[in-house]
Amino acid sequence: MVLSFGGWMWIKRWEKSTGLYVMQVFSQSYGLDLVGPTWTDYIGRDDFQFWGKDVGLAFWKNDEQTRAMLQPRTAPLSGVMTPRTNTVREYFKSPMTGLEGHFVGDKWAFESECEIYVAGVGKREVPDVHAPTS
């Protein structure tokens, strides 16, 4: 489902030992627009390794906020976490394709097989070139 999604979508796994989020999979659109032809440059790496310090830190902070939004469910599914969405607007500039802008979309965290993941879906915000400037 993620690979064939028509827009930007991805899933990162939270690494408890480091506190970082490691890219697991992303949509074809995300890969073509942001990663370029060598997708392995990002799969298995964290945001600091791919995006650099400033963008990586902004993404990490939002991922941390998103992970913190997981809430334990009550019985009968005790122990399972309930996801909540976190609407974000994040600046980016791809180090591979040069595409720049703001990502606008939703992130949510979920638990699967005792691992925590953060997923995101959204699009690039394109500035209105016809908007009046002050």
Identify the pLDDT of residue 76.
Answer: 53
Identify the pLDDT of residue 79.
Answer: 55
C-beta of residue 5 within 8 angstroms of C-beta of residue 121: yes
| Residue-wise pLDDT tens digits, 82-97 | 567 899 999 999 999 9
Q: Which residues of the chain have pLDDT under 50?
A: 75
Identify the pLDDT of residue 132.
Answer: 52
Q: DSSP label at 64?
A: H
0.85 exceeded by pTM: no
- Terminal-residue alpha carbon distance, the chain: 43
| Residue-wise pLDDT tens digits, 123-134 | 998 765 555 555
- 8-125, CATH topology level: Beta-Lactamase (3.30.450)
